[in-house]
Structure 1
Amino acid sequence: MTSRFALVLATLCSGAQAAQFNVLVFSKTAGWRHDAIPAAVKAIEELGRQHDFNVVATEDAGAAFNDQELSKYQAVVFLLTTGDILNAQQKAAFERYIHAGGGYVGVHSASDTEYGWPWYAKLVGHMFEQHPAIQTAVLKVEDRNFPGMDGFAKRTLVTDEWYNFHPAASKLNYLLTVDETSYQPGPKGMGTFHPVSWYHDFENGRAFYTALGHLPASYGDALLRRHLFGGMYWAATGKGFRAE
């Protein structure tokens, strides 16, 4: 366990800081490693200070993924994770955490993680298949009545790495889609309905995912930060929001 991780855990246990909820940010990679990870962690830490919730960031699966430590958090963010990042015992602890009512937030390549874990595929909702080059495209709102969605225009230009996904592994509520006629999706586009962000109740817990966030500079964008906070807020508290 890193000294910084131990220090923040001790703070959570002591109750020294009153906060709305606690979030674990997990950014371990066993495949492609995104350059955006430092900027993404910093952005979530700043959101925590702005919205009064505690943030613990780690890549130490052994320290974090056990029943005792996971019980300290209301939501766990898989932030730009890739590959097989948890062992069998850690997976079992995370399954128990969600079954006990915990929240999950997946960001971008969280869908490019743990392909051999069927339970995780159901939690995420869609698994990554492939992507074309980074491009500017039209992002479309499918549902504004969710935390953080009130900042989006009905249609807006966004630059990102637009993931194509395998078919859904769960019944999902879709928040954002991308208009494939506005960019070059490559040979394996998804057609007229191309999801980008969604959420669903899963077992006794909650799961939110967004494919946005490939570029480091994106984490300085107030719109993406609002979107991420909305997902974390809902995953941690279960509280909804109506924009209209």
Structure 2
Amino acid sequence: MRTLLRLCTIVALACAPAFAPSAAFAAGGPQVLVVSTGNAAQDVADYAVERLQMEARRWNFTLTEGAPEDLEDLGDYDVVMLLNTGGDFLDDRQQESLETFVEQGGGLVATDSAIESEPDWDWFHETLGATALPPAEAATEESVTFNSGSQITEGLDDELKLTEHWYSFDPAPAQPGSTILAQLSSGGAVAWVNEGLPVFYASPGGEGKTWGDRDFLQLIRQAIWWGAGEEGALVQNSDDAAPAWPYTLTFVLFVVAVAGGGSIAVWRLDKAETEKEAAAKA
């Protein structure tokens, strides 16, 4: 019986990390609904969500991948992210729900082709603050520079090189009305916020490589934090960057090895105690 109890304890301790909630989840950070309906490249959208999930675990927010119908009830969310969305994908009820959400202080973060979404929805385009022209046919590398003085750009390098099918805008985001956070070396705006509502837009994001860039991910996560109304600095949960369960085979083998090694040690200890008790009785 003692052997069994000890073995159970060892296995429980070895497996405990697999079932413990992440620090980000336990902390109850901002809740983010991400929708990517109508995107032009599903592989890019999938990779972007994967990277954002890692950012969420590390930086104390929760990311939920959803569909247009999830926009009908946004009571559990702090931010809606339209990730490279495209086309007319929202019905009247979903549009009304998103508009009410933003007007009442909910955050909206949009990237890349999202600015072309819902071409007949005036509120949406007035809120984003610009009208996009068709993107360039060829992807080119451009230098992006960030403006200081915003929570969203804090800590970013002065210059970032990205390869994208770049958008231009006519009309461009107006000042006053929008605050430009980043621009190309040519002067064209690539990221800005609405000055009256918690709305952020960044034109990069159409290329998968962009979502692997450390500075771009920092820009997006800080925009999410800002959109949620969080004014404090982001606090990193360094142990929460690994993929969620199911864990890798390496981890499973590690647990088995720990449990197996522990069982051998317990068996030897129990055997020694049994022999000692037998000797004492003799």
TM-score band, normalised by shorter chain: 0.7 to 0.9
The answer to whether the 8 Å contact 1:34/1:80 transfers is no
SS at match of 1:196: strand
Please state if 1:28 is matched with 2:37. yes
**In structure 1, which of residues 120, 124, 131 is the aligned counterpart of residue 128 of structure 2?**
124
**Superposition misfits of 4+ residues, deviation over 3 angstroms:** 31-35, 150-153
Residue number in structure 1 paired with 2:265: none
Offset from partner CA, 1:117-151 (integer Å, 9 cap, x none) = 0000012122321222110112122x222234234
**Which structure has the larger Rg?**
2
> Relative to structure 1, is the Cα distance of residues 161 and 240 closer, same or farther in structure 2, using a 3 angstrom cutoff?
farther
Shift of 1:107: 0.9
2:142 alignment counterpart: 137
The counterpart of 2:184, out of the listed 178, 188, 207, is 178
Matched, 1:224 2:239: no
Cα 1:238–1:52, aligned 2, differ >3 Å: closer, same or farther?
closer
Q: Distance in 2 between matches of 1:78 and 1:104?
A: 8
> How much has 1:200 moved relative to structure 2?
1.8
User: 1:190 maps to what in 2?
Assistant: none
Candidates 72, 75, 79, aligned match of 2:76: 72
Q: Are 1:239 and 2:231 counterparts?
A: yes
Match of 1:91 in 2: 95
Taking the aligned partners of 1:238 and 1:51, their CA distance within structure 2 comes to 12
Higher strand residue share: 1
Q: Give the Cα–Cα distance (whole angstroms) in 2 for the partners of residues 99 and 26 of structure 1.
A: 19
Q: Provide the C-alpha distance between the structure 2 equivalents of 1:151 and 1:36, rounded to a whole number of angstroms.
A: 26
Given that 1:161 and 1:214 are in contact with CA atoms closer than 8 Å, whether structure 2 keeps it comes out as yes
Query: Distance between the aligned counterparts of 1:238 and 1:121, measured in 2?
Result: 25
How much identity, in percent, do the aligned residues show?
24
Q: For residues 87-115 of structure 1, give each alpha carbon's deviation from its aligned partner in whole angstroms, at most 9, with x where no partner exists.
A: 01111111111121111000111111111
SS in 1 for 2:130: coil
Q: State the alpha-carbon separation in 1 of the partners of residues 145 and 122 from structure 2.
A: 29
SS in 1 for 2:80: strand
| CA distance in 2 between partners of 1:174 and 1:100 (Å) | 23
The number of aligned residues is 206
Mapped to 2, the partners of 1:231 and 1:27 lie a distance apart of 17
Distance 1:157 1:99 in 2: 34
1:223 is paired with a residue whose SS is helix
SS of alignment partner, residue 124 of structure 2: helix
Provide the C-alpha distance between the structure 2 equivalents of 1:102 and 1:48, rounded to a whole number of angstroms.
18
Helix, strand or coil: the match of 1:149? coil
Normalized per residue, which structure has more helix?
2
- Hey, what's the Cα distance between the residues in 2 that align with 1:175 and 1:77? 18
Q: Secondary structure at the match of 2:34?
A: strand
Please give the residue correspondences for 1:100-111 in structure 2 after superposition, counting only pairs within 5 Å: 100-111=104-115
CA RMSD of aligned residues (A): 2.0
Classify the secondary structure of the residue corresponding to 1:212: coil
Distance 1:240 1:144 in 2: 17
Shift of 1:240: 7.7
Q: Can you give the 5+ residue segments of structure 2 that lack an aligned partner in the other structure?
A: 1-24, 234-282
Q: In the alignment, which residue of structure 1 is the partner of 2:241? A: none
Distance 1:197 1:108 in 2: 10
- What letter matches 2:145 in structure 1? K
Contact 1:149 1:230 in 2 (8 A): yes
Give the counterpart letter for 2:150 in structure 1.
F
Contact 1:82 1:109 in 2 (8 A): yes
